[in-house]
Structure 1
Amino acid sequence: MSKAHHRKKHPEAVRQQLLEVAAKLSLEKGPASVTLDAVSQAAGVSKGGLLHHFPNKLSLLDGLFADLTEKLDRAIADRMRDDPEPKGRFTRAYISVFFLPEGIADGEKWKVLTIALISEPHLRERWRQWVERYLAENVGTDSALDAMLVRYAVDGLWLADLLGSPTMDAEARAAMLDRLLALTRS
């Protein structure tokens, strides 16, 4: 009998490893490099093992999206829980997660996901649904025009950072953060 029959299986660890490898490949070599063969090879997992978790590239991207949005949900919930002021609470949590460099874990994976969002219509739809869910849950506290303006500004900064647009110095970034936070309270 082979060792494989006695080896302990850790499907969630394998699944997570596949997601991490896919994100790393995409970040280092571009989204086109994320093929099932390349991911299984780089992860040291048989193609059959990969197909068990992700039957195609789209399901792999979906898995990456789900993994990251679960982490995002936790980060936003933590920040909202720690904010005693209801008005603008979600928008301030959004700022702290996306605007501040230390705000979101797995920042590199988010770069991968952002690229995938641009190129994959079904992921754009999932992202739209994610945002709409939060807006519906916070309609009484975060539906003001200023809150919307703040979220769009944060999205723009996130994209500028992703694309390596001209960076602003720490002083300008801090001033922008102060202004955006003030808008969540107006």
Structure 2
Amino acid sequence: MSRPPLAREKVLDAFERILIDEGERAATMDATARAAGVSKGGLLYHFGTKEALEAGLIVRLAELVDEDVAAIESAAEGPVAYFLRSSVMENAPLDRAIIAASRLAQSGNAPAIAALHEMRARWEDALRPHTRSTAALDLVMLVSDGLYFNNALGGDAPLTVVPRGEALEAVIALVEEAIRL
């Protein structure tokens, strides 16, 4: 009888947590098995190598990006407003997958680098029809990057420079005015 998919997800969750909290060097197979509460054999059942574990994380990221792009495209408030509002990190599964993949990319992991480039390209493709020019699209992406980065720096206590409430709404309104078709 095969193991339930929950065990596989627990292993990926543990690997992701170690990457985020301690970095790529600490994210060994042994450390991941311990953190997931599974035996090394249990881990190897789902991921035979560290490369397979990394690939599993990248697949998770791609699936979460698929969900995010669908949400962008169907957002009642509009794609740009949704995208900018969701750029303020909230420790959501997508946020954690991005940070974990970024840790892998920082160590030169080519598939992680490619996945992060693909993520950005998918977001740009979803937003492009809602901007008047390449410069307007670049503005949206740069504001998003700034919101995300500044919030990421704050850890448990986000930096006060990250707009919230009325300030975030003002940023969104300014960007939407600048990019209007």
Q: Deviations over 1:42-61 (max 9, x none)?
A: 21222222223223223222
Aligned-pair identity in percent equals 24
Query: In angstroms, what is the RMSD of aligned CA positions?
Result: 3.0
TM-score (norm 2): 0.75
Gaps of 5+ in 1: 1-7
Secondary structure of the 1:167 match is coil
Is 2:150 the partner of 1:157? no
Contact 1:98 1:158 in 2 (8 A): yes
What does residue range 7-26 of structure 1 map to in structure 2 within 5 Å?
9-26=2-19
CA–CA separation in structure 1 for the residues paired with 2:62 and 2:84: 16
Gaps of 5+ in 2: none
Q: Deviations over 1:45-80 (max 9, x none)?
A: 222222232232232222122213312321331242
**Could you say which structure has the larger radius of gyration?**
1
CA–CA separation in structure 2 for the residues paired with 1:79 and 1:140: 12
Structure 1 equivalent of residue 62 of structure 2: 69
Structure 1 equivalent of residue 171 of structure 2: 176
Structure 2 equivalent of residue 30 of structure 1: 23
For the structure 1 residues 29 and 128, does the alpha-carbon distance in structure 2 shift closer, same or farther, using more than 3 Å as the test?
Answer: closer
> Quick one: which amino acid aligns to residue 130 of structure 1?
M
For the structure 1 residues 102 and 39, does the alpha-carbon distance in structure 2 shift closer, same or farther, using more than 3 Å as the test?
Answer: closer
Structure 1 equivalent of residue 51 of structure 2: 58
What does residue range 8-157 of structure 1 map to in structure 2 within 5 Å?
9-83=2-76, 89=79, 91-99=80-88, 101-102=89-90, 104-105=92-93, 107-119=95-107, 120-136=109-125, 139-142=128-131, 144=133, 145-157=135-147
> Quick one: which amino acid aligns to residue 6 of structure 2?
A
CA–CA separation in structure 1 for the residues paired with 2:75 and 2:147: 24
Superposed displacement of residue 93, structure 1: 4.0
Superposed displacement of residue 22, structure 1: 0.9
> Quick one: which amino acid aligns to residue 55 of structure 2?
D
Contact 1:72 1:104 in 2 (8 A): no
TM-score (norm 1): 0.73
